[in-house]
Structure 1
């Protein structure tokens, strides 16, 4: 796809250790001299792995389809332009659940490394991977269902202190359009019974387990004891954190976004999903998903929107 500021390739001329980037079997893999790494599948631009300090932070089902036949169960699926089943009376109404971004083939636009913040050894301490999806890359079915001229650039930045994922949406046409977006992140944890999610206290949420009714989060910590499917909206705090056994595990900072979804399928829902394996995998994952899903974002012709998250693994 056409992009004015396509990132340049990483220069091998640096004096110290440099990030490594290579493509293999339909995915792009990047690693830092520290050993931290990220893997992104071109189908859906889905982050499949993020390792820091030798530890995996992303959960992917053992039965996930990685051949482009269906969206990946696990990782960081990218939801756009509609969250959940689209309303039939909306412009997205003919699209499948969660839209088309997670089941479209994205173009790898290239990589670039940091220009500052060097490691003590002189090497670059971050690498950015850019992926593009536009009207021309969509299937004919998707273009017919959502006939707007748009451009998406998804930037995945691996740094020694975390992972950043940012989505830029641009309206390339003359007609305005509305959209929702969500980073449906499956975080890997050791034991769901020992996990608490903090930073959503005093926030209003829509509980999909209770007929999509609104409630107030009175407890400062969320603990998972059964199936959870909640949309927290207009969150005042920028950071949501996951603790395990009372110790910090992950910090998730919203960038330009005000909503978050908390999801865990628990026992029966996990059993009912053919691509969710092992069936007790719900004990090893929790979804804390940043997005703009309460209502719709509107872009006039030529306008753009950007939002995403910055994650830090803590030990």
Structure 2
């Protein structure tokens, strides 16, 4: 039980039998087991050797979401979703190691030389019997304003994407529909089903809680704080079969519910801190 370091990362186990594995590469959560089941999807075709970003689990997106903006120059030169998921993080501290739960903190390394900003980026992962909490902490250590986007690209494991229902996104919530070339749409408040590709960024979701009914008597509650936006994504076969590191029919086994701050850039004054929290609960 407790905290075990390996050559690739850290494994945490509670007395209740739940566990999580986090790689140093990207501080990437690659496994979360609760109730005897794996709760995160990982593509069997994903590279796990540090050669490219990992497909599945919980990637950390920072300091941009999606393709880079055209300006300023240090952002325009970044790769998709930024560099945090491709960096080697380190285990900084075991915050708590008790029978009922374990909490550990990772620290990101310095940014690439071309990215001229000073900040501290920490990631706290807390595991209990039926819950996994992941917190992003960002402190602006510069003497000037720091702007960024951040998101947790969570792949929740499900039995069959065709049977799930996603609920509790408030009626009237605006979302950007990437399938419709970024068209802005207002949510009708109805449950979401996946019968075609879906790629929506919901802006400033009032409820800050989303429920996933997996259609098999279980599911998840995704609660978030600090993070105000949430992306819902599943490519279905139509798009999924074109993803190089996606296993065959992998899109049938997950839905991405991704809390973040991505509708615009978050701005921190010198010394100011941002905390974005995701709490995943098995229902």
Q: Is the pair's TM-score, using the shorter chain for normalization, greater than 0.5?
A: yes
2:51 equivalent to 1:69: yes
Counterpart in the other structure of 2:35 = 53
- How far residue 128 of structure 1 moved from its aligned partner, in angstroms, is 0.6
CA contact (8 A) 1:201 1:221 kept: no
Aligned partners of 1:259 and 1:247: how far apart in 2? 27
Counterpart in the other structure of 2:219 = 249
What TM-score results when the alignment is normalised by the length of structure 1? Answer: 0.86
- How far residue 143 of structure 1 moved from its aligned partner, in angstroms, is 2.4
- How far residue 134 of structure 1 moved from its aligned partner, in angstroms, is 3.7
Counterpart in the other structure of 2:264 = 295
Aligned partners of 1:261 and 1:170: how far apart in 2? 24
Structure 1 counterpart of 2:23, from 32, 41, 48: 41
CA contact (8 A) 1:148 1:177 kept: yes
Counterpart in the other structure of 1:96 = 79
Aligned partners of 1:112 and 1:126: how far apart in 2? 10
Q: Equivalent residue of 2:207, what SS?
A: coil
Structure 1 counterpart of 2:236, from 261, 266, 279: 266
Structure of larger gyration radius? 1
Moved more, 173-182 or 86-95: 86-95
User: What CA RMSD, in Å, does the superposition of the two structures yield over aligned residues?
Assistant: 1.3
- How far residue 269 of structure 1 moved from its aligned partner, in angstroms, is 2.1
Q: Equivalent residue of 1:201, what SS?
A: coil
Counterpart in the other structure of 1:226 = 196
CA contact (8 A) 2:168 2:189 kept: no
Q: Equivalent residue of 1:193, what SS?
A: helix
Equivalent residues, number: 281
Equivalent residues in 2 for 1:53-202, closer than 5 Å = 53-90=35-72, 91-113=74-96, 124-135=99-110, 138=111, 142-144=112-114, 146-202=115-171
2:253 equivalent to 1:284: yes
CA contact (8 A) 2:25 2:88 kept: yes
Cα-to-partner distance string for 1:94-138 (whole Å, 9 max, x where unaligned) = 111100111111011121326xxxxxxxx6211011100142xx4
CA contact (8 A) 1:183 1:308 kept: no
- How far residue 56 of structure 1 moved from its aligned partner, in angstroms, is 0.8
Counterpart in the other structure of 2:4 = 22
List alignment gaps of at least 5 residues for structure 2.
none
Q: Equivalent residue of 1:272, what SS?
A: coil
Aligned partners of 1:304 and 1:93: how far apart in 2? 24
What TM-score results when the alignment is normalised by the length of structure 2? Answer: 0.96
Cα-to-partner distance string for 1:270-293 (whole Å, 9 max, x where unaligned) = 21111111x211111000000000
